[in-house]
Structure 1
Amino acid sequence: MKYMGANELRDAYLKFFESKGHLVMPSFSLVPKNDKSLLLINAGMAPLKPYFTGVEEPPRKRVATCQKCIRTGDIENVGKTSRHGTFFEMLGNFSFGDYFKNEIIPWAWEFITETLSIPKDKLYVTIYLEDDEAFDIWTSKTDVDPSRIFRLGKDDNFWEIGVGPCGPCTEIHFDRGDGKIASVEEFVKAADEDRVVEFWNLVFTQFDKDENGNYNRLANPNIDTGMGLERITTIMQGVDNIFEIDTVKNILGTVSKIANVEYKSDDSKDVSLRIITDHVKGVTMLICDGVQPSNEGRGYVLRRLLRRAARHGRLLGIKELFLTKVVDSVVENYSSGYPELLEKAQYIKKVVLLEEERFNETIDSGMDILKGYINELEVAKGEVLSGEKVFKLYDTYGFPLELTEEILEEKGMKVDLEGFNKEMKEQRERARAARGTTSYMGSDEIPVNKIEATLSTSFDGYGTIKHHGTVLLLSDTTEFKEELSEGEEGFLVVDSTPFYAEMGGQVGDTGIITGEGFKAEVLDCKKNPGGKIYHVIKVSYGTVKVNDTVSLEVDNIRRNSICKNHTATHMLHEALREVLGEHVNQSGSYVDSERLRFDFTHFSALSAEELDKVETIVNEKIMEAYSVCTDVMTIDQAKNSGAMALFDDKYSDEVRVVSIGDFSKELCGGTHVSNSGQIGLFKVVSETGVAAGIRRIEALTGFNAIKYFESKSEIIREVTSTLKCNEKDILRKLHSQTADLKEKEKEIQELKLKMVQGSEDDILASAKEIKGVKVVASTVEGLDGNSLRDLADKIRNKVGSGVVVLGSAADGKVNLVAMATRDAIEKGIHCGKIIKEVATIAGGGGGGRPDMAQAGGKNPEKLNEALAKVNELVELLVK
């Protein structure tokens, strides 16, 4: 057996199966396409499900890939075991109704024993109990020793996920021991002890399991194999840990150097080193595939991985921001297999840096919360922190359970583990319920999503809005139909249509379909998971039948408006790159007849000046009336011509390139105006942030932009009428009136303060003494924040020693202020902590220093309740 690097192994596998007639495809994105059953791609075959189900035609009957995968089900075990990781690569070769067991079994043996030179006396094979066919092929077409083949049950050697394609499998195992196992019992024991390692699973997809549990034989069985690259690399490199293979070890070495911690010198620190290594690898790949940190879905997975990595950096004593340095190591070690990492490295690092900065702020807040919980326990003479509070720290502030346990242990306290696990379980159940039950592809179970791949539909609407076609299929939401009649809604499929199906951010067309004796309204046009176009219709009158010849006509006014907005998004993209820089790339878009929305990569809000420049550039290019041309070319020709492409999109051999004069050139399958002048006018109406490193612009074009300006003009007319002035004097008049109002407000506050000052003695008389600290907590009528602060300062001076908390309701809002004397602070008083808790009750928030803090609130009716909390808080704080 020879030593092979992970990158070398990946290459060897793909070249081997390329020599067997397989099309080697690049890894699909980690973000599933048209598959609602998955949050992230978690297996090599997952992106290929449409080919297995027959809803999409594969590019070739034989395919081989090395697929990026993410699994987080065992995230708590990552770093603690030798084999758990969140990001991994799955080598796979697939047959879609082409070859079967007779071919794949001898090929697998050839690759393992000849290409990789793994000793045969270190290998074992398992097969499904009833799969005599596999046994016969193993023993007749390879030279494996029959005594090294073991039959196992359904749990081990039969692959199925609910209903759908399934079948028996054969697994190939490597023995780290002496290679002398004589029985199934010995084999199972050795596997449980990790002495025997399964590294390649060959799935024979020969059945289709229905809802009744019947296993129906497939006319064209498939092959689906999966071999974990990390696992086979551990075997080839003679290590027993995925963190010790060359590529991963290099990243771990970078982390060790940053932390100044030697690997294998401290078990607990080794766990942190491995977690950082694994998680940053996953984070880098996720961001490269377009995932952004957020609080839900795949964005939450990314955020969780990133924050766990940052947290373990703290446990190792790393004080500075460090994750981007680890990203550099990931790019260096994985870019030979995934060259897109090099192209997006700077963007990935920017997203990581922003998120790490935010996490540092969050975990500091969490530490303050934990200290508060500990304080409460000490006062109550308790020893166990509730599971609810531990979970809040974990879920909201990113605190790992082990970190909370460690801090509590130093105080002689512990965690309510049972309560914490209960909260975790409830969260998982909520997530599961939110996902709901899905089918194999996770798509809606409507008939049009099960159209055979052999059926052909085409879009022929680039140059026309009218077309004739033949009705191929009709259905409602439950079954295929031969006809649909007046009043019925359903789905219609024709061989050729001028209706654009919703795709690439552009909405589907609407319009009408007519035929002999019938008319139907087209409410929408979409594509199913297999790429087949279907129309959502409602029959206005008559009956439409399968095989009818029909006339299809798109709503031209709506289509034109959509085209204007779509072409404007291309121009906006280019204008943003001119103003902000080449790092700007499209992150998403939405185009309908009313407006356009464009998401792009950038790391700060645009200034008013930048937005003005962008808007001006787009309008200048509109007025230059550029021709909008479309060319069809190969993907390589398109890239060589300088056309921009969405990075995570997979393109066919031939692509459409849309050019707007010499200003913009992008790959795009949507519909556009023929000349930029047809857009008429472009107006940005908002610019906001939607995720870390992602900004969003919403804009209007054409008549919608004109209507926008008309609405602003109407507002100006109303303002001039109210102020009784002309347009040019609006600002002067407003400034004058604002200054008058401020002066009057100042006078009113001064009068209120004079009135209140007369009651200072009454406020002081309400003071209570708690643990040797005087406490004044009182409401005052109608004072603003400044006046309230002045009053609190005077009362603090008069109280001599203690804490003053005042609250006032004015204009439907609450103002709060807390002040404390120096000796009260030394006894434990912290105004910032008091005001934060008090403000929360009043529907607000705030904070500050130990000696002074201010806050606001939205619920004046809660003011008395909020101030009643002060005495309790002082009781907790005073030592």
Structure 2
Amino acid sequence: MQTHEIRDRFTNHFVKAGHTPVPSASLILDDPNLLFVNAGMVPFKPYFLGQQNPPFPNGTATSIQKCVRTLDIEEVGITTRHNTFFQMAGNFSFGQYFKEGAIKHAWSLLTDSVEDGGFGLDPERLWVTVYLDDDEAADIWHKEIGIPEERIQRLGMADNYWSMGIPGPCGPCSEIYYDRGPEYGKEGGPIADDNRYMEIWNLVFMQNERGEGIGKDNFEILGPLPKKNIDTGLGVERVACILQGVDNVYETDLLRPVIDVAQELTSAKYGVKHEDDIRFRVIADHSRTGMMLILDGVTPGNEGRGYILRRLLRRIIRSARLLGAPGHTMEKFMNTIMDTMTPSYPEIADNRERILRVAVTEENAFLKTLESGTALFEDAAAAVKESGKTTIAGADAFALHDTYGFPIDLTLEMAAEAGLEVDSEGFDALMAEQRARAKADNRAKKHGHADLSIYREWVDNNPTEFAGYEELETNSKVIGLLADGAKVQAVEEGQQVEVVLDVTPLYAESGGQLGDRGVITMGDSLLKIDDVQKIGKKLWVHKATVEKGGLAVGDAVTATVDDAWRHAARQAHSATHLIHAALREVLGPTAVQAGSMNKPGYLRFDFNYTESLTPSQLAQIEAITNEAVDSDWTVNTIETTLDEAKAMGAMALFGENYGNVVRVVEMGGPFSMELCGGTHVAHSSQIGPVAILGEASVGSGVRRIEAYSGMDSFRYLSKERALMEGVASSLKAPSTDVPDRIAALTQKLKEAEKAIDDMRKAQLLAESAGLAAKADQLNGFEVITLTLSKGTSAGDLRTVATDVKNAFGEKAGVVVLAAEDGSGKVPFVAAATKAAVARGVKSGELVKTLGGYIDGRGGGKPDMAQGSGSNAEGLQAGFNAVRDLLGGLK
């Protein structure tokens, strides 16, 4: 039974039982506690916590949620049951059925025949576990389902009490296991061998709320949830493993094809060596997880989600290399995993080119890192051999890994090939310190679980009616007031308050568009609205200052949008749509929106793209955008279903969860058609001129364009014109000749600077020609310590030091030079001849010694090292310390 059929059977089973099917949410949700959705219940968290009433007719739902867990990336492939990406099939009850219902639903799906829509598993091979004191669940399994008591086992909190690992819903659980047979391990149930007895379904009896804590069983139970709920999670991959008759999740129809491709690309075979098998599994697992993350809009970066993706992709490349792959592999891996996953996720087909582009670009970048890292490793290995040692320091291996992204297992492999070892304990200690810092930083950044329950009354019973698409002023009623985080009945002058209205014309911040500004008035009372936020996608909360008078719950008021604000905001938001369309026309369909922010007169637009744009491309994008403005297209808005909107060709954004009814904004027919709830102009010409300020990188694979619209664009262009006129006047040339005149002046300046630099270098070399003859005799060494003239660069210091070292010839000579480069920095360099190195001189130690006196640091090889400091006053003391060091050598 193929995986997509397993998914369909699960969904159909629960839909027939009255559950509402809910599409998978994006892996990226706006939750401060989570990098990625890590459990099937995460999108339903507000309903479990009672912050919102579930919008499902029967109070039940079912979904197959995309999940990613990355806490133990290094462990992937070592076991054959865990994946970083997995599909969690779940059924949910919000105050409807509880333990008995959940157990019976699960049992019927697992054991009903294939002909009847079930999975057809043998009931005699199913075992269950329950929480230690959960007699109710144990009785249901035994008395209602008929499982013998000897196949019902009790486990403690670490195993059978579920939470997301962060504050939120939790409760005891009952897990269902499948006995794979004696060839997989010993008898005795899950307690005896959880490899033979594979967990396939976890039924969570969600009844409590947990507080802060670390680990699976070290947290506080804050109290009961408003209702007893059900949250279950069936591992789709594990069921596929059983129903397809394969040994592990890596050999199912989803992942085994990737392993087969990896065998074709490398010299290794799967199933021969354990170490190689781990690498094959890493390739398969990470290819899928990486692909799904890119699908949901993540791009490689150096922190957060981007760092996780980068790490996954680089582990694929590293593993393929260790298996013997000679070159590029990412394209074949990604194409293979997209083929296996598309039946379950059809949207992959529309994003195939973009996914490939992101993954292959990261591969190219990492292969360059490997090349430069190899050179750095060879330098480190040479230094170790020159010193007569056989072990590369843990600090050097860690620097290669942490600073240059060079994998430790490649360092170990190359060290072995060079006949060297690596101080693994030292490396592991530094890695442990880094992980501890990262965990502490991560905990510090978490905002905790935001308590939105104070808004629940209004979210559930009085959702705000937004009238702002048609009107800028409404007669409204105050249905709620908050001050200092608490509900109040009245507010007075001077207070910062939150106002909930039954109807409002003010747009709440969403989709990158800032909330409207405006006022609430009633007689002599005036509240200035500084921001509008949306709670639970239903409730508009107006953040305001009471500037005059006061307000009470129940008052009839007038809510008015600042007309100038709204006009300029609509211009900027509408311009964002046009720039997006122009980008795709110039760069192709892979240039997809990755984020945006617009406010009156200004917009910034982030998009997935791996290369910087040329001036010609930017000019073309700006021209296409303004041509669209000049076309005076009518801006049409259409409310329809999500499926119909996609069929029309409307673009949806990553990370957004859309309801059953969506709003399509169309400009110029197929030119621009997007799902969007923002406010827009009526005709494209109302946007006014659009001036692109420039573009830049904001992360690996993500670029950002900034632009002005309307009068802000006009003012910007006026300033640019005035600036050009000023430059033309200074050059005494017409504005059309300014670029050529500036280019000519720049060339002359470069030639003059080069001539001056050549003269300075010639003078410097002339001065240094006789330095070797002026060396002091110290402990058998020819020694020079000298500060050169101000303005001498680090490169010049190195040149002079090399010349002096060469002039020493066969002598044991040492030269240490420093200078002030004119920018406040103090570069310094140390060089030693072969004879000096043979006597134990290490230039790296000399620069470290000198650096300690001038607030600097540096390093290098025994014969040449350099560094930079900032305190020139310490140079003489530093030189004296260097001489003392040389004087103490035997």
Give TM-score, length-normalised by structure 2: 0.85
Aligned to 1:674: 682
Q: Using the TM superposition, give the Cα deviation of residue 791 of structure 1 relative to its aligned residue in structure 2, in angstroms.
A: 7.1
Aligned to 1:76: 74
Provide the rounded CA distance (Å) in 2 between the counterparts of 1:179 and 1:729: 84
Provide the rounded CA distance (Å) in 1 between the counterparts of 2:36 and 2:836: 51
Tell whether 2:177 aligns with 1:173: yes
- 1:190 maps to amino acid: A
- 1:120 maps to amino acid: P
Q: Using the TM superposition, give the Cα deviation of residue 778 of structure 1 relative to its aligned residue in structure 2, in angstroms.
A: 6.0
1:642-687 CA-to-partner distances (Å, cap 9, x unmatched) read 3222254332222222222334222211001112222221111011
Provide the rounded CA distance (Å) in 1 between the counterparts of 2:435 and 2:769: 56
- 1:170 maps to amino acid: S
Tell whether 2:589 aligns with 1:578: no
Cα distance change, pair 342–462 in 1 and its aligned pair in 2 (3 A) = same
Any unmatched runs of 5+ in structure 1? none
Aligned with 2:255: secondary structure?
helix
1:270-669 equivalent positions in 2, closer than 5 A:
270-374=277-381, 388-408=395-415, 410-417=419-426, 419-420=429-430, 422-436=432-446, 438-439=448-449, 443=450, 447-448=454-455, 452-529=459-536, 531-662=538-669, 663-669=671-677
Aligned with 2:543: secondary structure?
strand
- 2:205 maps to amino acid: F
- Tell whether the 8 Å contact from 1:832 to 1:848 is kept in structure 2 after alignment: yes
- 1:688 maps to amino acid: A
Cα distance change, pair 732–540 in 1 and its aligned pair in 2 (3 A) = same
1:227-279 CA-to-partner distances (Å, cap 9, x unmatched) read 11122222323444221223211221111221131111112111111111111
Cα distance change, pair 239–760 in 1 and its aligned pair in 2 (3 A) = same
Aligned to 1:205: 206
Tell whether 2:35 aligns with 1:27: no
| Of 133, 141, 144, the match for 1:141 | 144
Cα distance change, pair 395–557 in 1 and its aligned pair in 2 (3 A) = same
Provide the rounded CA distance (Å) in 2 between the counterparts of 1:275 and 1:229: 19
Provide the rounded CA distance (Å) in 2 between the counterparts of 1:148 and 1:256: 41
Q: Using the TM superposition, give the Cα deviation of residue 364 of structure 1 relative to its aligned residue in structure 2, in angstroms.
A: 3.4
Tell whether 2:772 aligns with 1:764: yes
Moved more, 674-683 or 656-665: 656-665
Moved more, 813-822 or 590-599: 813-822
Cα distance change, pair 786–314 in 1 and its aligned pair in 2 (3 A) = closer
Provide the rounded CA distance (Å) in 1 between the counterparts of 2:361 and 2:843: 27
Provide the rounded CA distance (Å) in 1 between the counterparts of 2:257 and 2:77: 16
Aligned with 1:480: secondary structure?
strand
Aligned to 1:18: 15
Aligned with 1:398: secondary structure?
coil
- Tell whether the 8 Å contact from 1:511 to 1:555 is kept in structure 2 after alignment: yes
Aligned to 2:216: none
Q: Using the TM superposition, give the Cα deviation of residue 557 of structure 1 relative to its aligned residue in structure 2, in angstroms.
A: 0.7
Aligned to 2:701: 693
Provide the rounded CA distance (Å) in 2 between the counterparts of 1:68 and 1:773: 69
Provide the rounded CA distance (Å) in 2 between the counterparts of 1:517 and 1:772: 94
Provide the rounded CA distance (Å) in 1 between the counterparts of 2:542 and 2:565: 16
Provide the rounded CA distance (Å) in 1 between the counterparts of 2:318 and 2:162: 38
Aligned to 1:812: 823
| Of 78, 86, 89, the match for 2:87 | 89
Cα distance change, pair 766–718 in 1 and its aligned pair in 2 (3 A) = farther
- Tell whether the 8 Å contact from 2:821 to 2:827 is kept in structure 1 after alignment: no
Aligned to 1:40: 36
Provide the rounded CA distance (Å) in 2 between the counterparts of 1:837 and 1:611: 48
Moved more, 772-781 or 484-493: 772-781
Cα distance change, pair 345–835 in 1 and its aligned pair in 2 (3 A) = farther
Q: Using the TM superposition, give the Cα deviation of residue 350 of structure 1 relative to its aligned residue in structure 2, in angstroms.
A: 0.9
Cα distance change, pair 672–82 in 1 and its aligned pair in 2 (3 A) = same
Cα distance change, pair 750–526 in 1 and its aligned pair in 2 (3 A) = closer
1:46-195 equivalent positions in 2, closer than 5 A:
46-60=42-56, 61-114=59-112, 115-160=118-163, 164-177=168-181, 186-187=188-189, 189-191=191-193, 194-195=195-196
- Tell whether the 8 Å contact from 1:812 to 1:859 is kept in structure 2 after alignment: no
Any unmatched runs of 5+ in structure 2? 113-117, 213-218
Cα distance change, pair 449–715 in 1 and its aligned pair in 2 (3 A) = farther
Aligned with 1:762: secondary structure?
coil
Aligned to 2:263: 256
Aligned with 1:38: secondary structure?
coil
- Tell whether the 8 Å contact from 1:817 to 1:852 is kept in structure 2 after alignment: no
- Tell whether the 8 Å contact from 2:608 to 2:701 is kept in structure 1 after alignment: yes
CA RMSD of aligned residues (A): 4.4
- Tell whether the 8 Å contact from 1:90 to 1:228 is kept in structure 2 after alignment: yes
Q: Using the TM superposition, give the Cα deviation of residue 123 of structure 1 relative to its aligned residue in structure 2, in angstroms.
A: 1.4
Q: Using the TM superposition, give the Cα deviation of residue 847 of structure 1 relative to its aligned residue in structure 2, in angstroms.
A: 13
- 1:173 maps to amino acid: Y
Q: Using the TM superposition, give the Cα deviation of residue 767 of structure 1 relative to its aligned residue in structure 2, in angstroms.
A: 5.9
- 1:623 maps to amino acid: D
Provide the rounded CA distance (Å) in 2 between the counterparts of 1:599 and 1:26: 26
Aligned to 1:5: 2
Provide the rounded CA distance (Å) in 2 between the counterparts of 1:545 and 1:835: 76
Provide the rounded CA distance (Å) in 1 between the counterparts of 2:570 and 2:814: 66
Moved more, 858-867 or 148-157: 858-867
Q: Percent identity?
A: 36
Q: Using the TM superposition, give the Cα deviation of residue 501 of structure 1 relative to its aligned residue in structure 2, in angstroms.
A: 0.7
Provide the rounded CA distance (Å) in 1 between the counterparts of 2:721 and 2:835: 59
1:460-483 CA-to-partner distances (Å, cap 9, x unmatched) read 101111112222222234322222
Aligned with 1:759: secondary structure?
helix
- Tell whether the 8 Å contact from 1:602 to 1:695 is kept in structure 2 after alignment: yes
Provide the rounded CA distance (Å) in 1 between the counterparts of 2:308 and 2:343: 26
Aligned to 2:215: none
Cα distance change, pair 818–522 in 1 and its aligned pair in 2 (3 A) = same
1:64-112 CA-to-partner distances (Å, cap 9, x unmatched) read 1111111112222111112232111111111222333332222211111
Moved more, 516-525 or 403-412: 403-412
- Tell whether the 8 Å contact from 2:167 to 2:448 is kept in structure 1 after alignment: no
Provide the rounded CA distance (Å) in 1 between the counterparts of 2:159 and 2:757: 79
Moved more, 809-818 or 688-697: 809-818
Q: Using the TM superposition, give the Cα deviation of residue 747 of structure 1 relative to its aligned residue in structure 2, in angstroms.
A: 6.0
Provide the rounded CA distance (Å) in 2 between the counterparts of 1:231 and 1:304: 25
Q: Using the TM superposition, give the Cα deviation of residue 869 of structure 1 relative to its aligned residue in structure 2, in angstroms.
A: 13
Provide the rounded CA distance (Å) in 1 between the counterparts of 2:881 and 2:569: 59
- Tell whether the 8 Å contact from 1:448 to 1:491 is kept in structure 2 after alignment: no
- 1:108 maps to amino acid: A
Cα distance change, pair 385–544 in 1 and its aligned pair in 2 (3 A) = farther
Aligned with 2:254: secondary structure?
helix
